Structure 1
């Protein structure tokens, strides 16, 4: 078998927020790229029932990234089944948009808990498994809102900016002792997902008009970026933020 084109050949991957949208496409892309096993995690895996059966190398895991006890159980399961983790993709995230003067403390807490604390807890739980071979890739999904802000998204901007800051710290911290553990972010712009499909067509047209490349991105555009950063092709890249936004933020 020629595996030269399979960037994930024999790799053990974990993806959060994996049941639909970006997470689904990322999970499928890693599986198609030859991953030995992709643990596709989501707090609600029901949307995955329509597609996950097509991939014998994907395992569905119902998981709340804010539940440290559940993360510990998952970590032990992967250790028992695979003995290591090679790739972690932190994709799980939510929005609770409101203007600053109207944003409730609950809306702030919900977004920061899932989007930031969840990334911290998940990475902390998987780190011992990544350290088994002293080599691996952590790819976290941030946003152009985390790099450049957006009206009505104080909580989301803070959470996605926090992911970038944590990632840069991890890039420095996780190489101690000669380890080759890389940490990078992807900052998507406007992407054609279930969320944007619910937006009125006129609003979508205005969004697309702001993008130099003239169209919303597709989930596969983000998944290809994840695949690259997760693979050995990016072995000398760490602590970086890859914007995949069609030129929206320059």
Structure 2
């Protein structure tokens, strides 16, 4: 595989599992050095193992950094810790962030009468304020030749009005609005795009309530790429599709779209919400 990101530095938040881990792995395969952002102490051994594995397999540098992006100081700490790592400096001793993937997020589903101020506060701190402060802290270290790339992980929930997602859908709509603003403000430094996955085969998706899964079955029924393929998809997913309507995306399928958007050939794409949901939501 061509190492099109050789020598570039990518910061991936929420890199300990799921989509974040898949994105970090994909970028490593094409040569990017990595900052693997994570939040909880329980994730530390997972991320440290991932870093060692990616370094040995792909001859890149991978540095795990713990920072709570739901706090005011956490995002700045993430960036400044990365800057202080000698392993991530360029040969001339400078520090540059070529790629930033704002992936970390939380999903707390509740119907309108059950939403609490605490749920709202946590969701907006992690899903909206977190990416804002990370991007703000990263801005001084972005390239000056438009070669930088920022990818924000949104969701089709920003547009579909799914039940239980007043708060989650709202956070992702806010992230998409910020994406468009940053695309203008940072245009001489980088492109800024969002992607909007639907259901993805992760722990987060598995934790959704049966009522929520019944709600989205009709959407899945009409999503072209969610139709299962016996002999290709696992028998478990094929069997589950009889009641769920189809299969979720694999994390690698989401990571592949991120990889397309951070490459040199994506230089004329900015301020967009790029479909990453198998056709569940068809953009105009």
TM-score, scaled to structure 1: 0.89
Q: Report the secondary structure of 1:9's partner residue.
A: coil
- Equivalence for 2:18: 21
Inter-CA distance 106–87: structure 2 relative to 1 (3 Å threshold)? same
- Partners of 2:74 and 2:204 lie apart in 1 by 27
1:135 aligns with 2:132: no
RMSD between superposed Cα atoms in Å: 2.3
- Partners of 2:108 and 2:78 lie apart in 1 by 28
Structure 1 residue 76, shift from structure 2 partner: 2.9
**Runs of 5+ unmatched residues, structure 2:** 56-60, 90-94, 228-246
- Equivalence for 1:144: 156
**Runs of 5+ unmatched residues, structure 1:** none
User: CA deviation digits over 1:150-173, x for unaligned, max 9?
Assistant: 111111111000010000011111
Confirm or deny: 8 A CA contact 1:66 1:121 kept in the other structure: no
Q: Report the secondary structure of 1:157's partner residue.
A: helix
Q: 2:65 aligns with which of 61, 81, 98?
A: 61
Count, aligned residues: 243
Confirm or deny: 8 A CA contact 1:84 1:132 kept in the other structure: no
User: CA deviation digits over 1:112-160, x for unaligned, max 9?
Assistant: 1100111101110111111456530100000000122211111111100
The structure with the largest alpha-carbon Rg is 2
Q: Report the secondary structure of 1:55's partner residue.
A: helix
Inter-CA distance 131–107: structure 2 relative to 1 (3 Å threshold)? same
More off after superposition, 188-197 vs 232-241? 188-197
Inter-CA distance 75–201: structure 2 relative to 1 (3 Å threshold)? closer
- Partners of 1:217 and 1:184 lie apart in 2 by 20
- Partners of 2:161 and 2:102 lie apart in 1 by 20
TM-score, scaled to structure 2: 0.79
1:73 aligns with 2:85: no
Structure 1 residue 55, shift from structure 2 partner: 1.4
User: CA deviation digits over 1:173-229, x for unaligned, max 9?
Assistant: 112xxx141000000011111233456999589474342221321101110111111
- Equivalence for 1:193: 202
Inter-CA distance 172–224: structure 2 relative to 1 (3 Å threshold)? same
